[in-house]
Amino acid sequence: MAGTGVFADVLEGDVYKYYADGEWKKSSSGKSVAIINPMTRKTQYKVQACTQEEVNKVMESAKTAQKSWAKTPLWKRAELLHKAAAILKEHKAPIAECLVKEIAKPAKDAVTEVVRSGDLVSYTAEEGVRILGEGKFLVSDSFPGNQRTKYCLTSKIPLGVILAIPPFNYPVNLAVSKIAPALIAGNSLVLKPPTQGAVSALHMVHCFHLAGFPKGLISCVTGKGSEIGDFLTMHPGVNCISFTGGDTGIAISKKAGMIPLQMELGGKDACIVLEDADLDLVAANIIKGGFSYSGQRCTAVKVVLVMESVADLLVEKVKAKVAKLTVGAPEDDCDITPVVSESSANFIEGLVKDAKEKGATFCQEYKRDGNLIWPLLLDNVRPDMRIAWEEPFGPVLPVIRINSAEEGIHHCNASNFGLQGCVFTKDVNKAILISDAMETGTVQINSAPARGPDHFPFQGLKDSGIGSQGVTNSINMMTKIKTTVINLPTPSYTMG
């Protein structure tokens, strides 16, 4: 159970502690931040409201710890990560319980998130050993005007202190996708979890603590964004920020100093459906892509662009599947669970009302109870409706009828976002042409958008992000190239 057994140190009274210098601590602020259960809308957990002074201390320890960590052999770093991965998986049940209670993730998906995270940590350890154990060797005579008098050796060195800010929808998985690459590459890591999801993240961090990482190498500070948000992202001790979330990322990118940024800020993933598509496959993917975790995924299908000639049939098939979705408590493993907060539910409702006023066809009756919104398919959506462009981050999916693939591509590319997209057709040549024309970081052919498997590159264009993620790209992003050049007094050529 959360906060008990091996996790007992994380909790004192009814407030979870923060993690600094290898210890679980109470904030000197004496204040806490409440985490509201999206289902009951009552306080589920409380976490420490850390102060700026505490952030300063964490940054100092992170800097010191990183210096010796960078001198720790790569195989030893990997060994500790493997250990953390095993502990994480061993304790999947209490961590999943937190995910259910604080972000209303359906029980089965919550367990999957923890297991996937353990696998990600192990894979990162293995990949790190391979790619960080290799460098390059260059010789000078390949560049015009040079003799072979210079030997250049390149290696990848750590950046220093990485600040990781994951989102509420994957507080464990999108935290470890930043922590593991940072650590294997020889960096230290400061984690600022989202408030909804903070307790899951604290439990995950405890698994790293139990694995025996050095003091100060990993820290986790909780608290109000207004108090420590900007203070963290603008802190001079931070050497790199890896952020996943909403448009706060745009503000961070404007304020952060001259440091590398890795950002994923959401999407409006389009699903283009051509006349020759397998409509049963499309319908199944629209349900999975549009409604899993109640649409609260950056990579959710967020607009269906279907050819008019097959639209009626597709809408009927999707409607039939929507009718079968279960709606209710995450503990009961329902398909549709409450969205994360009341303000989120209000925002979604605003989009629905706008679509209603402008004449969208409601395939189901709009229904809401607290944060719980019943799945809704909106047909005949037009570009003047907000839902055509904005991310609901909820179980509401617009369908726009198109008359050509070009029209679909045009709608997709007119979005500020460019995370992923998908195209359904049996004609692979058409699929490739459409994929090439779509201004998104990834295009899935005949499947819904998704980030995983976690070693695949994952990136967004335009407002969807900066840089690329996925295990290998994240390790590389959290390193810098260092070169050493050996200058010879006379040219030297290796003989065959």
Contact set with ligand G3P (CB under 6 A): 169-170, 297-299, 450-452
Compute φ and ψ for 304, nearest 5 degrees: -100, 125
DSSP, collapsed to helix, strand or coil, labels residue 77 as helix
Neighbour count for residue 85 (Cβ, 10 Å): 25
Of 299 and 473, the one with the shorter C-beta distance to ligand G3P is: 299
Sign of CA dihedral 26, 92, 114, 21: positive
User: Quick one: which of 185, 74, 173, 80 has its CA closest to 118?
Assistant: 173
CA–CA separation, 436 vs 267, rounded Å? Answer: 18
CA–CA separation, 436 vs 430, rounded Å? Answer: 10
Work out how close the CB of 356 gets to ligand G3P at its nearest, in angstroms, rounded to a whole number: 27
The reply to whether 152 belongs to the active site is: no
* CA distances (Å), origin 339, targets 83, 146, 321: 34, 63, 20
Q: Record the tokens describing residue 116, joined without a space.
A: 């996937």
Q: Record the tokens describing residue 275, joined without a space.
A: 């006349």
Work out how close the CB of 113 gets to ligand G3P at its nearest, in angstroms, rounded to a whole number: 9
CA–CA separation, 79 vs 124, rounded Å? Answer: 11
Of 188 and 415, the one with the shorter C-beta distance to ligand G3P is: 415
Q: Which of 298, 334, 412, 422 is catalytic?
A: 298
CA–CA separation, 166 vs 245, rounded Å? Answer: 7
User: Quick one: which of 89, 88, 113 has its CA closest to 330?
Assistant: 113
Of 211 and 443, the one with the shorter C-beta distance to ligand G3P is: 443
CA–CA separation, 44 vs 42, rounded Å? Answer: 6
Work out how close the CB of 452 gets to ligand G3P at its nearest, in angstroms, rounded to a whole number: 5
| Residues contacting residue 495 through CB under 8 Å, at least 6 positions apart | none
Please answer whether residues 175 and 169 qualify as being in contact, where contact means their C-beta atoms are separated by less than 8 angstroms. Answer: no
CA–CA separation, 67 vs 393, rounded Å? Answer: 41
Work out how close the CB of 394 gets to ligand G3P at its nearest, in angstroms, rounded to a whole number: 13
Work out how close the CB of 170 gets to ligand G3P at its nearest, in angstroms, rounded to a whole number: 6
Work out how close the CB of 274 gets to ligand G3P at its nearest, in angstroms, rounded to a whole number: 23
CA–CA separation, 460 vs 370, rounded Å? Answer: 33
Residue whose C-beta lies closest to ligand G3P: 298
Task: Kindly state the helix (H) or strand (E) to which residue 204 belongs, with its residue range.
Answer: helix 198-211
Work out how close the CB of 299 gets to ligand G3P at its nearest, in angstroms, rounded to a whole number: 4
Of 298 and 405, the one with the shorter C-beta distance to ligand G3P is: 298
Q: Which of 54, 97, 127, 264 is catalytic?
A: 264
Of 334 and 450, the one with the shorter C-beta distance to ligand G3P is: 450
Work out how close the CB of 484 gets to ligand G3P at its nearest, in angstroms, rounded to a whole number: 38
Work out how close the CB of 239 gets to ligand G3P at its nearest, in angstroms, rounded to a whole number: 23
| Residues contacting residue 134 through CB under 8 Å, at least 6 positions apart | none
Amino acid at 254: K
What torsion, rounded to 10 degrees, do the Cα atoms 319, 323, 329, 334 define?
-80
Please answer whether residues 223 and 50 qualify as being in contact, where contact means their C-beta atoms are separated by less than 8 angstroms. Answer: yes
Of 85 and 355, the one with the shorter C-beta distance to ligand G3P is: 85
* CA distances (Å), origin 323, targets 127, 331, 335, 374, 446: 43, 21, 11, 10, 23
Q: What is the DSSP letter of 319?
A: H
Neighbour count for residue 133 (Cβ, 10 Å): 12
Please answer whether residues 174 and 166 qualify as being in contact, where contact means their C-beta atoms are separated by less than 8 angstroms. Answer: yes
Of 32 and 292, the one with the shorter C-beta distance to ligand G3P is: 292
The reply to whether 264 belongs to the active site is: yes
Work out how close the CB of 36 gets to ligand G3P at its nearest, in angstroms, rounded to a whole number: 20
| Cis, bond preceding 453 (omega within 30 deg of 0) | yes
Residues identified as active-site: 264, 298
